[in-house]
């Protein structure tokens, strides 16, 4: 079999198209086999199948016969832009996009290892070089500003986009507001107990959230004010749905894991939510940002808190105490600033001959 005469990404003879499709189909069949001798397939196998099916549907819609690098890059961009939705009709989280890309890379790399033809190996490995979505989003963020910080309308839109009719939705709303409305780190949020949230009141009757073990094992209290603060109200709705009462079980953890039940409903688990689980929960909800939609990570919510507090007039020292920083300089970095290229232009030029 002669190699294709033109760029391997763009043009193939019918024989080469058929050959490559056969190689990919055979490898997909092998990877789709049961990895364990049980009736239930592993989560990894199900995720792999779901990703390959999603790619196949995209290729069919685009009339693409092969998963070339250009096709995969276009697929990635369409997923990032929200033009491709999940099975539930919601925008794909960054983690889900990268999981799909990783599954395709696995298919292409394993296929390259199986074939003997050197040209086919090179083509498949080239296609498998498609980058994750995270690096591209990060580059865009760095080009715009020093970290992602939502405005108040953008934060409100993010929270309101979460379905508050399920246990998972109630939990995720409360989790996002605890980090964006009280400035907690994700590791601090998952350690909160009912007593930390609802029984922390000073002599003047001001409510707050007690962080018993922050960074470097430092404790602090984040002042919120009224018991009707949106953070406290949202957490109250979630814990009430779980049947938890602060006076009865003050040591009970607030944020719990969830498990999807038959029919699509969610059940709360007794185990405390892990840091990784909290990060995944936040990443599942893209936020409106400057007219677009971007994935948000947990620490972006803490930056958002710092920016909104400073815009509302809080002093640097008070904000430093709220966030638990050792230095105001660190707090200043969290508040950040927008990159205005007009202010950064040198204002002079050279006249060279």
Q: Supply the pLDDT for residue 302.
A: 93
Of the candidates 77, 285, 269, the one whose C-alpha atom is nearest the C-alpha of residue 179 is 285
Are 193 and 127 members of one domain?
no
Across all residues in the chain, what is the average pLDDT? 83
Residue 141 in this model has a pLDDT that exceeds 50: no
Instruction: Determine, yes or no, domain membership for 6.
Output: no
**Is 88 a member of any domain?**
yes
Q: What percent of the chain has pLDDT over 90?
A: 38
Please give the structure tokens belonging to residue 199.
Answer: 């029984």
Q: Name the pTM for this structure.
A: 0.59
Average pLDDT over residues 166-173: 95
Q: The domain containing residue 32 runs over which residues?
A: 14-143
Give the mean model confidence (pLDDT) for residues 320-341: 81
Instruction: Measure the CA angle with vertex 279, ends 209 and 142; round to 5°.
Output: 105
Check residue 8 and give its pLDDT: 39
2 in any annotated domain: no
199, 129: one domain: no
Q: What is the pLDDT of residue 12?
A: 62
| 139 and 246 belong to one structural domain | no
Co-location of 322 and 228 in the same domain: yes
**26 occurs within a structural domain:** yes
Counting the structural domains of the chain, the total is: 2
User: Could you identify the residue written with the tokens 């979630």?
Assistant: 238
Note the pLDDT tens digit of each residue in 259-273.
Answer: 988 777 888 999 999
Is residue 344 included in any domain, yes or no? no
Statement to judge: residues 236 and 305 lie in one domain? yes
179 located within any domain: yes
Per-residue model confidence (pLDDT) at position 147:
67
**What is the average per-residue pLDDT within 108-135?**
84
- Shared domain for 295 and 219, answered yes or no, is yes
| In the predicted structure, residue 310 carries a pLDDT above the cut 50 | yes
**Whether residues 132 and 179 fall in one domain:** no
Does the structure show a pLDDT above 50 at 15? yes
**What would the two tokens of residue 115 be?**
């074939």
What's the pLDDT tens digit per position in 202-212? 888 889 999 99
Looking at residue 135, its pLDDT comes to: 53
The band of 223, judged by pLDDT with boundaries at 50, 70 and 90, is very high
What band does 1 get if pLDDT is binned at 50, 70 and 90? very low
Same domain? For 194 and 300 the reply is: yes
Cα 286 from Cα 292, distance rounded (Å) = 10
* Last-in-domain residue among 115, 143, 171: 143
8 found inside a domain: no
Among 143, 171, 200, identify where a domain stops. Answer: 143
- Over 50: is that where the pLDDT of 255 sits? yes
pLDDT-derived band at 93 (thresholds 50, 70, 90) equals confident
- Residue 293 placed within a domain: yes
- Looking at the structure, do residues 48 and 125 belong to the same domain, yes or no? yes
The phi-psi region of residue 147 (left if phi > 0; otherwise alpha if psi is between -120 and 50; otherwise beta) is: left
pLDDT for residue 285 is more than 80: yes
Range picked from 143-157, 284-298, 331-345 for highest mean pLDDT: 284-298
User: Alpha carbon of 342 to those of 332, 339, 345, 348: distances in Å?
Assistant: 22, 9, 6, 13
User: Does residue 315 sit in the same domain as residue 281?
Assistant: yes
């Amino acid at each position: 079999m002669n190699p294709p005469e033109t760029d391997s990404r763009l043009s193939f003879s019918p024989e080469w198209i058929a050959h490559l499709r056969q190689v990919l189909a055979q490898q997909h069949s092998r990877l789709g086999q049961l990895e364990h001798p049980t009736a239930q397939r592993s989560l990894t196998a199900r995720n792999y199948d779901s990703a390959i099916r999603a790619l196949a549907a995209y290729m069919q819609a685009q009339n693409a016969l092969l998963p070339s690098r250009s096709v995969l890059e276009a697929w990635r961009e369409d997923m990032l832009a929200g033009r491709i939705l999940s099975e539930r009709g919601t925008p794909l989280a960054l983690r889900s996009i990268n999981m799909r890309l990783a599954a395709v890379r696995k298919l292409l790399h394993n296929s390259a290892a199986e074939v003997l033809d050197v040209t086919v190996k090179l083509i498949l490995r080239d296609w498998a070089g498609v980058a994750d979505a995270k690096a591209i989003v990060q580059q865009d963020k760095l080009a715009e500003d020093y970290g992602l910080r939502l405005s108040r309308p953008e934060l409100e839109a993010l929270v309101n986009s979460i379905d508050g009719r399920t246990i998972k939705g109630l939990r995720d709303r409360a989790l996002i507001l605890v980090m964006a409305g009280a400035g907690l780190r994700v590791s601090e949020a998952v350690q909160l107990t009912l007593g930390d949230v609802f029984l922390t009141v000073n002599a003047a009757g001001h409510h707050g959230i007690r962080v018993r073990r922050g960074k470097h094992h430092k404790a602090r209290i984040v002042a919120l004010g009224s018991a009707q603060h949106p953070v406290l109200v949202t957490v109250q709705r979630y814990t009430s749905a779980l049947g938890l009462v602060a006076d009865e079980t003050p040591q009970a953890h607030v944020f719990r894991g969830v498990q999807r039940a038959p029919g699509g409903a969610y059940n709360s688990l007794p185990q405390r939510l892990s840091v990784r689980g909290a990060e995944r929960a936040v990443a599942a909800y893209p936020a409106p940002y400057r007219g677009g939609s971007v994935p948000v990570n947990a620490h972006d919510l803490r930056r958002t808190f710092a920016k909104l507090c400073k815009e509302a007039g809080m002093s640097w020292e008070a904000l430093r105490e709220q966030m638990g920083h050792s230095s105001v300089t660190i707090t200043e970095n969290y508040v950040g600033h927008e990159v205005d290229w007009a202010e950064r232009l040198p204002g002079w030029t050279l006249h060279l001959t």
